Structure 1
Amino acid sequence: MDNIEATRQYLKSSLEISGAIASALDDSGSRLEILSRKCQSLEASLRPICTQDFSFLDMGDRIDGVLCSAAAVLKVFDAIHPLENSLLADPSSDLCTYVSDTKKFEEALKLLTDNCTLALGWLQEILELLQDKAVVSNEFSLLNVKKSLRILQELQAMEEDAHLDGGLLSAAFDKLEVEFKRLLKANSLPLPLSPLTSSINQQTTIPALPASLTGKLQAIIERLHANGRLDRIKSIYVEVRGMNARRSLQALDLSYLEIPTAKFEDIHSIESHIEQWGKHLKLVANHLLEMEYRFSGKIFEKIGADAWKGCFAKVAIDSKILSFLQFGINVARSKTDPIKLLKLLDIFSILNDLRLKFNQLFSGEACEEIRTVTKDLISRVINGACEIFWQLPAQVKLQRPSSPPSDGSVPRLVSFVTDYCNELLGDTYKPLLTQALEIHLSWRNEAYEESIIFAQVFSIVKEIAVNLDAWSKAYEDITLSYVFMMNNHCHFHNLRDTMLGNMMGDSWLKAHEQYEDYYAALYLKHTWGKLLPILNKKDILSVAVAVSSSDMAKRLNTFNVAFDEMYKRQSNWVISDETLREKVRKHIVEGMVPSYRSFMKNYSLTMENDEKAVKCTKYTEQNLEKMLWSLFEMKITKYGSMKQVHFISKIKQMSAQLFTLATTV
């Protein structure tokens, strides 16, 4: 109860205090309302003054910013002056320092421009504030701001002028271009190319670019590239290296690259140039262009592949690579001819050898023109070679209406075709022809078979055989046709151990050997065999009966007339093979001379006392034998050396009309 009473008293006292506080708060609220109204009135009266103070405070901050930027401008401006004298000097004396100072000058001018731009922005705003007469009317301050603004604008213009033609930085870049050209020319020496080098495939040493020179050239390129002058430096590089490439080519006789297109119609007239072209193209690609590829890649490697490959492509064109390719295209465009097939295969071989090198050198967009011309050349070579190959049997057949040789020798066409087939089947051309046919058929989505070449060569030989049969029937003198067939069968028989002979087989060779003997026997029977009965006529000699001298003289005269006529007729006939020629002459001598000797012995006995009979003796035994041994000799002045000559040398002496293919079959 005591506690409850004490609590009641505490609560009563608290209520009394709360009432007193509430009364005091009521009095304070009235006073705060009065103060609030007074503050609002004061605020309205001080607002213009507060606004003016804030504007001056803001302008002070901006002036501080201008001072900082202007101070930086002055420091940069002071740093530029020492660099000016360095850039006016000759860069060749100390290129590294010159390039470094050029870079410093660029950076200083850029910093100057940046700070000028910042300060100009601040000053422009301050000028606008000062020009507001509601803020301040201090003309002296206004003039100073305008003057400062003008000075900064002039400093900013310095950087722009330095880059313009005639400006200090522009002049420095010009000097670097001159120095780049000087260094490049001083280290650009013609590559020692020579006809001797190309003929023996000697490796030409490609000079290496000194590291110190590379560094200098790269420093110049990097500096000029950063200032938009890469195209100019590339032009200088192409000019110098292109001229150096042309100087390197002066050691080679490349006049054949300028041969008019019309002269390519006769493949024989440019045959030697094709071989020369192949040697020179390999020399240019493997040495000259390889060197330029390395040089441009090394010098421009920090700029990027597009830059150096573009330069290399232009230098390659200056090295006449397009002229080389065009020469090959002109050969492929020339009139169809069997020799052209071999020449196209030669070109194909050269291009095949250079395939990897071309892929290395001429990759990338910059070399697109060179690659396009190269693809065109390859396409023309393969298509042209295969077209001629497929036409060969038909073109042999086209020669059938021509006349056989008047001396019964082996026709040039036969010698040409057999040698030609041996070339196609040889180790040099057969792999090339196989590869060309594989590519050609793949373009037509057809498969290549090994038997294709053999079947085509067999067709050629078959057409030659039909031609020989037709030509043998063209002779009016059948005995000459025997000589003709004997010659040609001997020619085919002699193909043993050749590519063509091995392909045709032993039975084919033996058949020609048998036909050779067969026609030799027919020749002997129908020519000299007809003279023997005159000499070998049986005479009945006895003691009681004597042969009349007039009969013996008549027989000798008949023999002389027949011998003279036959010898005269056959004196222009030819047996081409020396072994066959000796064999036939031996048979003639062995058949005629003993009979003539026996006859003349009897004749001498019969006409011993008859002076007129002595006059009928026209030939001695020795003279007759000598004349027979002189038959069928090759006429060197007409046909050239009797020895076998190389195929290529032989076809050079042939008439341009020999086995020339028609444009269409």
Structure 2
Amino acid sequence: MENNDIPEEKSSSAGDAKTEVGLEEATVPEETPPPPPSQVDDNHEDPDKSDLNKIYEEIDRIVTNDNAAPAESVVDEFLDVIEEKIAKLEKEDHDRHAFLESVTRVSKLYMSIVKDPKPEEIGTASIINRIGSVQQRAMAYLEEEFRSLLEDSKTTVDDTSDNIINDQNSISDGGDDNNYNNNNSDETTIFPGYPRDVVLRMNKIAKEMIFGGYESECCEVYMIARRNALEEILQRLGFEKISVDDIQKTHWESLEREIAPAWIKTFRQCATVHFADERILAEAVFSDHPSIAASLFSNLARGVVIQLLDFAQGIAMSKRSAEKLFKTLDMYETLCDMVPKMDGLFPADECSAELKTETSLALSRLGEAAICIFCDLENSIKADNGRTPVPGGAVHPLTRYTMNYLKYACEYKDTLEQVFKEHSRTDGDDPYENDGVSENPNDLQSPFSVQLMRVMDLLDCNLEGKSKLYKDVALSSIFMMNNGRYILQKIKTSMEINCLMGDTWCRRRSSELRQFHKNYQRETWSKLLGCLGHEGLNVVNGKVAKPVLKERFKSFNAMFEEIHRTQSSWVVSDEQMQSELRVSITAVVIPAYRAFLGRYSQYLDAGRQTEKYIKFQPEDLETYIDELFEGNPLSMVRRKQ
């Protein structure tokens, strides 16, 4: 009877030993296990072993010759031997290799008789039932041993594919345990979680079970054992199964701190290490049945991937909030990076198609969630309509939050570009349409660049509205300078944002800052310098109008003291801008005051009159100017004391 799945019989040379010649004249194949004792020299032949060998020979004749008539007595004796072997194996460690050969004979015998039964020669069909019963008992023992070997996995999360020597050729070539021990004793071949000799044993058991018609039982044992092993790996990596409903109920802090990083680590390790290991193992254990190996691997990996994808979709479907953007993008990047690594692992079958569909869906949902979260920044800016101005015209918290958020978000620039390009809903609009935002009409902007420009425009409008909350126009200018400078510095120090906003935008913002500076100078120091004008101080016969001169000095003193008192409480946190402001004020005020003082101080009477009207020397003014914008109101009276 022909069957390509039938292993080569190790005892097929037994017929050659039926002559009266000793063992030394018989040729034993290299991979054939040592012959039974019955084939040793005739002078030392064990009668019982000789009888057993004859039984094996008769059974081999039956299963290899369709015309052979099976004798019921021989079959009964053979089955008695098999049952005895099973009983011994169940009690103690017996010769498992010989037992596998016996199981092969049982399976062949059963298929031979069932396929072409000869009831007139067997005498009764009950022998068929007995053969089936013995085979079932033998398979039950093999199934239990298969389970035990599988459950003795030593897989850890530190295992890598680099230390796995894929020696499947020797397995599929039918090499036995003895050959391994003889030929590869110096090797330390390791499969995922198992020594090579254990994998060889599992390979032989799987082969026998499938050949004997117990494919479903064999596959079920393998699936359960390896599924449990994979679940243990996931737990060691820190990832535990969590439903979509539970994700909605779990605080984001917990998800962000523990679960999401574990998901990323687990997905990366599974895609790069554990799935490859699992495929190697399946192909080694089921080397004679590639389609079974592929199916088992696909189903095992599918269960893990679906579990991981369900978590990703749960995160994407959770309530939107700004702080979720970055972990959402991390998960999106992980999927994008790992999917190509998994493509080569899965055969092109229904399972592979399903996983690709589920992965694409998870990517889409994560991408859409990221877009929605980022676009919600617009709503946050619009909703910030507080009517309380920031003390001292300092940088507004909205500005700090928005720019720090954008700077961090733009560290994901390439990912956000991809997300907005592939997952944004343009409602028919061209995603690269200029949208009237670009500084250069010839530039085509990506959807993310356009969105970033919108956020910046909204922030500008919001800050302009907040600047009007200040009654002092000069302070309003300081507020706009502070916030504008903060924005510009954040953009200049972030290569990603700077690249997206462009040099033209930065130059325009710098120009706006200079204009705010001019507005401040005009509102504050131009009025002060008006006190130092020459108009009304007509010199007649070498004299000036002293009452007017005295009033000029009094006005200057009072106005400068008020400016100092007020603006020393104003805040300019950027040291460079603070220095630039002080230098520009000094450059305007000190020369004008020094000239006015040098020209008109002589017209005041020395002594008490001079002390009364000339309160400041130019050096004093410089000192007081250097105290501006510190955020601490200072009194000149206390200073002089």
Q: TM-score range by the shorter chain?
A: 0.5 to 0.7
Contact 2:484 2:513 in 1 (8 A): yes
2:76 aligned with 1:77 = yes
Candidates 223, 230, 233, aligned match of 2:208: 223
Matched position secondary structure for 2:481: helix
Residue identity opposite 2:368 in structure 1: N
Q: Contact 1:422–1:500 at 8 Å: present in 2 too?
A: yes
Match status 1:291 vs 2:277: yes
Q: Which residue of 1 aligns with 2:102?
A: 101
249 and 262 in structure 1: CA distance in 2 versus 1, 3 angstrom threshold? closer
Structure 2 CA distance for aligned equivalents of residues 486 and 468 of structure 1: 11
Quote how far apart the aligned CAs of 1:584 are.
0.5
1:281 shift after superposition: 1.7
Equivalent residues in 2 for 1:11-410 (5 A)?
72-90=71-89, 93-108=94-109, 118-119=119-120, 152-153=123-124, 156-161=125-130, 163-164=132-133, 168-192=134-158, 205=163, 208-209=190-191, 212-254=197-239, 260-262=246-248, 270=256, 274=260, 277-306=263-292, 308-310=294-296, 312-314=298-300, 317=303, 319=304, 321-337=305-321, 340=324, 343-361=327-345, 364-366=349-351, 370-371=355-356, 373-386=358-371, 399=384, 405-410=390-395
Percentage of matched positions with identical amino acids = 21
Distance 1:269 1:585 in 2: 49
**2:472 pairs with one of 465, 471, 477:** 477
Question: Over alpha carbons, which structure has the higher Rg?
Answer: 1
Contact kept, 8 Å, 1:345 with 1:433, in 2: the verdict is no
Amino acid of the structure 1 residue aligned with 2:485: C
Separation of aligned partners in 1, 2:416 and 2:137? 60
Match of 1:490 among 456, 469, 485: 485
* Partner amino acid, structure 1, of 2:226: R
- 1:101 offset after TM fit, Å? 0.9
Aligned-pair CA distance for 1:219 = 1.6
* Cα shift at 1:547: 12
Matched-pair contact (CA < 8 Å) for 1:87–1:102? no
Distance in 1 of aligned mates of 2:297 and 2:98: 28
Opposite residue 297 of structure 1, the aligned amino acid is E
Amino acid in the other structure paired with 2:514: D
Looking at structure 2, the residues matched to 183 and 275 of structure 1 have their Cα atoms a distance apart, in angstroms, of: 34
CA distance change for structure 1 residues 621 and 305 in 2, over 3 Å: closer, same or farther?
A: farther
The 8 Å contact of residues 572 and 632 in structure 1, kept in 2 or not, is answered as yes
Question: What residue identity is the alignment partner of 2:414?
Answer: K
User: C-alpha displacement at 1:192, in angstroms?
Assistant: 0.9
> Are 1:73 and 1:116, in contact at CA under 8 Å, matched by a contact in 2?
no
Alpha carbons of structure 1 residues 169 and 380: separation in structure 2 relative to 1, 3 Å? same
Q: 1:609 to 1:508 in 2, by over 3 A?
A: same
Instruction: Report the residue type matching 2:88 in the other structure.
Output: A
Corresponding residue for residue 662 of structure 1: none
- Where 1:347 maps in the other structure, the secondary structure is helix
**Aligned-residue offset at 1:402:** 7.0
Q: RMSD of aligned C-alpha atoms?
A: 5.1
Q: Partners in 2 of 1:250 and 1:272 — Cα distance?
A: 13
Counterpart of 1:580? 577
Deviates more, 1:595-604 or 1:286-295: 595-604
Alpha-carbon distance in 1 for matches of 2:356, 2:292: 16
Q: 1:628 to 1:313 in 2, by over 3 A?
A: farther
C-alpha displacement of 1:162: 5.2
Aligned counterparts of 2:396 and 2:580: Cα–Cα separation in 1 = 21
CA contact (8 A) 1:184 1:237 kept: yes
| CA displacement, residues 253-311 of structure 1 (integer Å, 9 cap, x when unaligned) | 33696894336786997388655643432122211222112212332243342565335
Number of aligned positions between the proteins: 518
Contact 2:375–2:451, Cα closer than 8 Å, also in 1: yes
Question: Which amino acid in structure 2 is aligned with residue 248 of structure 1?
Answer: I
Distance 1:571 1:252 in 2: 57
**Preserved CA contact (<8 Å) 1:313 1:367:** no
- The offset of 1:324, in angstroms, is 2.6
- 1:589 and 1:222 mapped to 2: Cα distance? 94
Tell me whether 303-312 or 181-190 shows the greater mean CA deviation.
303-312
Deviation at residue 100 of structure 1 after TM alignment: 0.7
Q: Structure 2 CA distance, aligned partners of 1:240 and 1:403? A: 65
Residue type at the aligned position of 1:245? L
Structure 2 counterpart of 1:649: none
Q: Which runs of 5+ in 1 are unaligned?
A: 1-67, 122-151, 194-201, 636-665
What's the CA shift string for 1:564-606, capped at 9, x where partnerless? 6544533443324332111112233455677889999999998
TM-aligned CA distance change 1:560 to 1:300, over 3 Å: farther
Is contact 1:267–1:340 with CA below 8 Å preserved after alignment? no
Distance 1:578 1:556 in 2: 32
Q: 1:228 to 1:520 in 2, by over 3 A?
A: same
Measure, in 1, the Cα distance between the counterparts of 2:515 and 2:370.
40
**Structure 2 Cα separation of the partners of residues 604 and 101 of structure 1:** 130
Residues 614-657 of structure 1, C-alpha deviation per residue, up to 9 Å, x if partnerless? 9x99999888755543433489xxxxxxxxxxxxxxxxxxxxxx
- Report 1 or 2 for greater relative contact order, CA contacts < 8 Å, sequence distance ≥ 6: 1
**Partner SS for 2:571:** coil
* 1:129-169 deviations in Å (ceiling 9; x for gaps): xxxxxxxxxxxxxxxxxxxxxxx44xx435424544xxx43
Normalising to structure 1: TM-score of the pair?
0.62
Q: Which amino acid aligns with 2:445?
A: S
Query: How far apart are 1:220 and its partner, in Å?
Result: 0.8
TM-score (norm 2): 0.64
Q: 1:109 to 1:425 in 2, by over 3 A?
A: closer
The separation in 2 between residues aligned to 1:176 and 1:381, in whole angstroms, is: 47
Task: Please list, as runs of the form range in 1=range in 2, the aligned pairs for 1:623-634 lying within 5 A after superposition.
Answer: 628-633=625-630
Q: Residues 541, 325 of structure 1: CA spacing in aligned structure 2 closer, same or farther, 3 A cutoff? A: same
Amino acid at match of 1:242: R
Q: Which amino acid aligns with 2:146?
A: F
Who is 1:642 aligned against? none
Contiguous gaps of at least 5 residues in structure 2: 1-66, 166-189, 433-443, 633-641
Q: Which has the higher helix share?
A: 1
**Distance in 2 of aligned mates of 1:567 and 1:362:** 75
Q: Is the 8 A contact 1:487 1:516 kept in 2?
A: no
Paired residue type of 1:487: N
Superposed counterparts of 1:414-453, under 5 Å: 414=399, 417=402, 428-430=412-414, 433-434=417-418, 437-438=421-422, 449=432, 450-453=444-447
1:377 Cα offset (Å): 1.0
Does the aligned pair in 2 maintain the 1:69–1:118 contact within 8 Å?
Answer: no
- Checking the alignment, whether the CA contact within 8 Å between 1:393 and 1:456 is kept in structure 2 is no
Contact 2:546 2:603 (C-alpha < 8 Å) held by counterparts: no
Distance 1:297 1:576, change over 3 A: farther
1:315/1:632 Cα in 2 relative to 1: closer, same or farther (>3 Å)? same
Of residues 594-603 and 84-93 in structure 1, the stretch that sits farther from structure 2 once superposed is: 594-603
